[in-house]
Structure 1
Amino acid sequence: MQPLRIIAFTVLLIAALIGFFSGIYQRYRFLRLGQAEQRSDHSEERMKGFFKYVLGQGKVLAEPSGIGHFFIFWGFIILGFGELDFFGFDLFGGHIPGFTQGWFTFTQELFAAFVMVAVIVALIRRYVWRPMRIEPTFEAGFILGLIFIIVATLFLTTGLDAVASGAYTVPAAPMSSLVAYWFSGMSPSVAGNLAQVFFWIHTLSIFGFLVFIPRSKHLHMIGAVFNTYYRNLGPVGKLKTLDLSDETVEEFGVAKVTQLSWKQLLDGYACTECGRCHVSCPATLTGKDLSPKYLILKMKDHLVDQGPSLLKMAAGGEDYTASLPDLVGEVYTEDEIWACTTCRACEEACPVFNEHVSLIVDLRRDLVLTKGSAPGEVNRTFTNLERHSNEWGRPRSARAEWAEGLGIRVMEDVEGAVDYLYYVGTAVSYDPRNQKIAQSFVKLLQKANVDFAILGKEEESDGDSARRLGNEFLYQELVERNVELFKAYGVKKIVTTDPHAFNQFSKEYKDFGLDIEVLHHTQFLAELLKEGRIIPTQRVEKTVTYHDPCYLGRYNGEYDAPRYILEHIPGLTVLEMERSRNKSMCCGAGGGSMFKEETGEKRINVERTEQALETGATTIATACPYCMTMMIDGTKAKGVEEEIDTNDIAELLCMAV
């Protein structure tokens, strides 16, 4: 019978490998339908990321639930080596040298046991506890069940083989020995036959899993490896700059799935469906149509659905893109695409480095630049930026009214260069409440004898709202005017109270020839404190909770400077929100959202305000004028604006100085 067993095994193995590689090759061909994108630079850093995030499961372990995945991941790797010996011994009667050593046998059994426990916990969590971010789908249950069967039949086969051979106890194999103990009363012949039954169940389960991988969500076992290697190593959150110089090009952004890059398509394969992005997204949490999880999954499903016919058309030399339906309308609704605040909470949470925001902005670019389709309030914002270089439509002449009587120099009146240009920004220049931020910051600069000036009525919008809302034409016009202005005045250093401008000038303006030092005002003030140029002496008796702005924190990694300032203000008590630092929740203003109507069950700023109120703080501190507006509106919506103050970091420090 042994030759027949070997033949049967070989036939099944070949069939499984054909099923596996044919599925993988088809998915690979689907990726090649996407657009080219260069992601092969910095190979050494990419390999370091492979060891840290794939083998080390770095981002997976950022959440407690990642521990189970860690053991399943490494359990499968170790079991994979053990399976070679398992099949070799059962079919050919010989062990692979070294694989019978006690340490390897024990390690294999230990991790196999961990896998079983992790699978049981995952099943209970998914189908009993049912947290918001996880769906109790049949496919997920089928895969978990298959993994459980693979491990259980491994123990059953080895344990029953031990009974058949009379070796009931193997110290290095505690689980198999336990199975042998359970069946110790069974006759050797019956145990041997039963072992063969479980051997073939085990074999069919593994081969079935192999065929199922490229056709299921477990494609992420392969996709995540490549997605991690080809992750974005450029500036965090930096958007791709469109080439607008070719006047023959009539379409911009992304309308069809084949207009996405291969890397954007790979995001779909890499998605683990863990839902971490789902429960991090402010739009999802407040009942809007958008979910970053389904943004990626719907794109993948659409690609897989359309892929076979596209490949046939491509083979026949047909224009397969023209026959495709538009993503917005067929796959996504416009409400989904406009609900995003571009806060990057989804990308921060994603364990496999999916890039949701660039996909959304590409879709917005198509809506705005190609189809001319945008909500009315968004179009009004564009009009205001075109005519007045600010989203509110206020006259340029009013841009520096906040500075009257403060003795602030304006660049056009300065002879020679200054050390710092204070770029005020639109939100601070025109909003009466936010103007107090600029006034406090300026007083601190003057106290520290900093040589600075402002642009006054010459100041332009930084263009962030235009770009995030999809109007790349308008954005680049604003950028060109700003760069020309900065160069004309010989600006070497910029400090700004606006994190969005800070992000633009320090990262995205480099594509347009601006490469100068840019500081956020909290970074600058923290340095002045350290140097002793500002000394807070007055007690500020407030209990404060600090709200991290997305474009200062997640986009630029600055979490410490604002907290350093707060810690050095006498009398101040600081309480952290549950969602803080890189897990902070957006205020709802980013991505141009401040200038469009918000849909859904609840306003994002109200949700964030409630999180602040839970700390028991009497003051909400922030470091962004947009966040300031949203948090004040949130306290008004909750009816606590008289009891809860909202202050910028600069205002609190100014009180102490």
Structure 2
Amino acid sequence: MGATREIFWNTGSAAVAAMYLLALVAVGALAHGFRRRRDIWRRGKPLDRTDHPLRRLSRLLADTVSQRKVARVAEGGVPHAIFFWAFLLLFAGTLLVMAQADLLTPFFNFNLLSGDFYRLYSLTLDLAGLLAFVALGVLAARRFVIRPPGLERTPGDATIHLLLLAILVTGFIVEGFRMAATELRDNPGLALWSPVGYLFAELFAGMSDQAQRVAHRALWLAHMLLALGFIAIIPWTKLRHIATTSGNSFFEPDEPKGTLAPVDLDDESAERFGASAVGDLFWKDLFDADACTKCGRCQQRCPAWLTGKPLSPMKVIADIGDVAETASENGLIDAVSRDALWSCTTCGACEEICPASIEHVGKIIEMRRSLVLMAGEFPGDEARRACDAIEINGNPFGLSGASRGDWANGLPVSVADGKSETEILYFTGCYASFDPRNSKVAESFIKICAAAGVSVAVLGKVERCCGEPARKLGNEYLYRMVAESNIAAIRASGARRIVTACPHCFNTLARDYRELGFDLPVEHHSTFIRRLVGEGRLKLNPAPFSATYHDSCYLARYRDIVEAPRVVVEAAGGRLAEMEWSGSETFCCGAGGGRILAEERMGTPIVDERLRMARKTGASTLIAACPFCLSMFEDGIKRSDAHQSLKAFDLAEVVVRSLENP
């Protein structure tokens, strides 16, 4: 007997016909379910996410087949990826059987499932089934026994696990009965190519031929009904993420990270701005709710959640989905809650770790826009006063704009007048202009430029807040006002290139101002200093010191600037000890998302958790490359009892210290 088997052995033509009929019913239920989901998605505003279709399709296939976003977190992610790959092989094997039975045999009289190919086919599917069984067991143990925080456990989850288990087990039992009645007697060598099925076949070998056939047919029907039932319920349960999570790879934004939806403040027909109802969000925002796998990764990385604040990015997405499901035109913000919305630092950790490519931050900003622009609500009176100060004085401190450039007195820096040219325009930012601690950073940067022979100009009193904190709080009107003022001042200055030490200014000028027609190159001081060192224009005299470097969220996650500041630290003599969360997985200082303007009233201070990580490295120097981070660290260290053992510095200060070494 050759290496092959009879397809649909012992099932009968009536059972096969019933299978195909029920398959049509299952596919119909699948299609109807997704049509219903589509109607829910359409409750959101239109948004084009189909440009560059080939690039999007390539990304979808790469993400789906490789499971790279899922498997990047070993705990839970790796077994999920293994289960997916195994189930994909089993599904492909089923399709191959259908192709053999319905196409190759009747039309071409050709048996692909024979010989060595069939042996390899049998072994591959058997091992795939075993891997799927083991991976499913690991996932079930994690969800229902280990029970990590944030991973939900519902009756529906248990039902889905039991359904998948039943499909796998009945598949092996069906295979075992078939092999017991055929291969064990007639072709034992072939049976060894299905090792798991062989074990089951040995269990049933003592049964009579009739009993084996009856049991096989009953289990085959059960297996078929379970598999088709699985297909039918996909859009009606959280299993819909099989399609929507992959779909989200196709619908990912192609804009730079952190790009927010534009607001047409000049539209006189607009009845409201921001999102207070589901219909104010985009269809993609509602699609995200279906793509969410509720794995809890975003929550486990959220600095607000981890420090006792009422923000779970996962719950925000679920709440949006619940409101969309009910077709309610009101109550979106109440469902999510104001405290949750104001707790967000917009650090992007949730989006960075999400295996489903969900966009959390934009939704939160849209709801904040509604609160600020339509209802005049802020996270606190101090944030309202800061925004008022930005509008009147151009800075959140309420200090006179005329003194904005006083920090530069006596330094080799000029005030841009549009006539004389300099190599760079230094956009100082509010903190370096008015906060004495951060003014030292600006002074250090000017000293670096002087040592490298770089001529520098500043805007002086005509510079205003870049507008980023106000925009992240939802105050789009104030952001637009100061942005247009800055753009006009920069154009009048004659600047050709801008450098800033503030990642928030950097992102705003380099990305957000582009929407307003601004097109000058903008660089952060970390990459600028690295280039000066690399080109030999800046000569350092390093003295060894122990340090740990804190990645600013708006540098590492939003701009992928991770290596440059570390190269500079090491060139200055720093022996780096990395914190447990660093690089693109950095932990926020707590100042982003406009939170620098608001008091942190709930939970424990986010910066205290980051300082704990810094102290754990044993380093004596904590280096930042952001004025917000530096300010938070200084305040946090002063509150603690460890201020004698840990000192915070900006990258530029460390470089200047190296310049001054003998």
Q: Distance in 1 between matches of 2:143 and 2:639?
A: 36
Q: Distance in 2 between matches of 1:69 and 1:538?
A: 48
1:111-510 counterparts in 2 under 5 A? 111-167=128-184, 169=188, 170-306=191-327, 324-329=329-334, 331-375=335-379, 376-412=381-417, 415-510=419-514
What SS is found at the alignment partner of 1:551?
helix
Task: Find the partner of 1:52 among 62, 68, 93.
Answer: 62
CA contact (8 A) 1:278 1:293 kept: yes
Deviation for aligned residue 1:66: 2.1
CA contact (8 A) 1:6 1:91 kept: no
Q: Distance in 2 between matches of 1:29 and 1:486?
A: 47
Task: Find the partner of 1:25 among 19, 35, 38.
Answer: 35
CA contact (8 A) 1:224 1:352 kept: yes
- Matching residue's letter, 2:91: G
- Matching residue's letter, 1:171: L
Task: Find the partner of 1:621 among 620, 623, 640.
Answer: 623
Q: Distance in 1 between matches of 2:358 and 2:478?
A: 28
Deviation for aligned residue 1:369: 0.8
Range with greater deviation from structure 2 (7-16 or 157-166): 7-16
- Matching residue's letter, 1:408: V
Q: Distance in 2 between matches of 1:363 and 1:11?
A: 48
Q: Distance in 2 between matches of 1:130 and 1:149?
A: 23
Shift of the 175–54 alpha-carbon distance from structure 1 to 2, 3 Å rule, reads same
Deviation for aligned residue 1:203: 1.5
What SS is found at the alignment partner of 1:620?
strand
| Deviation by residue 1:88-108 (Cα, 9 ceiling, x = unmatched) | 999999899434522222222
What SS is found at the alignment partner of 1:552?
helix
- Matching residue's letter, 2:652: A
What SS is found at the alignment partner of 1:287?
coil
1:545 aligns with 2:548: yes
Range with greater deviation from structure 2 (162-171 or 592-601): 162-171
CA contact (8 A) 1:440 1:650 kept: yes
Q: Which structure 1 residue ranges, 5 or more long, are not aligned?
A: 307-322
Deviation for aligned residue 1:518: 0.7
Q: Distance in 1 between matches of 2:113 and 2:332?
A: 52
Q: Which structure 2 residue ranges, 5 or more long, are not aligned?
A: 1-10
- Matching residue's letter, 1:77: L
Q: Distance in 2 between matches of 1:448 and 1:555?
A: 29
Range with greater deviation from structure 2 (124-133 or 82-91): 82-91
| Deviation by residue 1:31-70 (Cα, 9 ceiling, x = unmatched) | 1221111111122321221222111112112111322122
Deviation for aligned residue 1:559: 0.4
What SS is found at the alignment partner of 2:622?
strand
1:69 aligns with 2:90: no
Task: Find the partner of 1:569 among 567, 572, 575.
Answer: 572
What SS is found at the alignment partner of 1:59?
helix
| Deviation by residue 1:504-540 (Cα, 9 ceiling, x = unmatched) | 111111111111111100111000001111111141x
- Matching residue's letter, 2:546: T
Q: Distance in 2 between matches of 1:619 and 1:78?
A: 52
Q: TM-score, normalised by structure 1?
A: 0.93
- Matching residue's letter, 1:296: I
Q: Distance in 2 between matches of 1:263 and 1:124?
A: 33
Deviation for aligned residue 1:30: 1.3
Q: Distance in 1 between matches of 2:96 and 2:467?
A: 62
Deviation for aligned residue 1:462: 0.5
- Matching residue's letter, 2:599: E
Partner of 2:5: none
- Matching residue's letter, 1:334: R
Q: Distance in 1 between matches of 2:92 and 2:569?
A: 54
Q: Distance in 2 between matches of 1:127 and 1:655?
A: 54
- Matching residue's letter, 2:348: R
What SS is found at the alignment partner of 2:623?
strand
Shift of the 4–48 alpha-carbon distance from structure 1 to 2, 3 Å rule, reads closer
Deviation for aligned residue 1:166: 4.8
Q: Distance in 2 between matches of 1:50 and 1:27?
A: 20
CA contact (8 A) 2:317 2:360 kept: yes
Deviation for aligned residue 1:182: 2.3
Deviation for aligned residue 1:353: 0.9
CA contact (8 A) 2:105 2:111 kept: no
- Matching residue's letter, 1:138: P
- Matching residue's letter, 1:69: H
Deviation for aligned residue 1:488: 1.1
CA contact (8 A) 1:425 1:498 kept: yes
Report the aligned-residue RMSD. 2.0
1:555 aligns with 2:558: yes
Deviation for aligned residue 1:599: 3.5
- Matching residue's letter, 1:615: T
1:572-591 counterparts in 2 under 5 A? 572-591=574-593
Task: Find the partner of 2:643 among 598, 620, 641.
Answer: 641
CA contact (8 A) 1:5 1:91 kept: no
- Matching residue's letter, 1:271: C
| Deviation by residue 1:387-426 (Cα, 9 ceiling, x = unmatched) | 11111212112212222222321113x7322221001101
Report sequence identity in percent: 35
Deviation for aligned residue 1:338: 0.6
CA contact (8 A) 1:281 1:346 kept: yes
- Matching residue's letter, 2:176: G
| Deviation by residue 1:3-40 (Cα, 9 ceiling, x = unmatched) | 44235434433332232221111001211221111111
CA contact (8 A) 2:143 2:152 kept: yes
Q: Distance in 2 between matches of 1:340 and 1:482?
A: 27
- Matching residue's letter, 1:385: I
1:510-525 counterparts in 2 under 5 A? 510-525=514-529
CA contact (8 A) 2:345 2:595 kept: yes
| Deviation by residue 1:528-567 (Cα, 9 ceiling, x = unmatched) | 001111111141x421111000111101010011000011
CA contact (8 A) 2:428 2:458 kept: yes
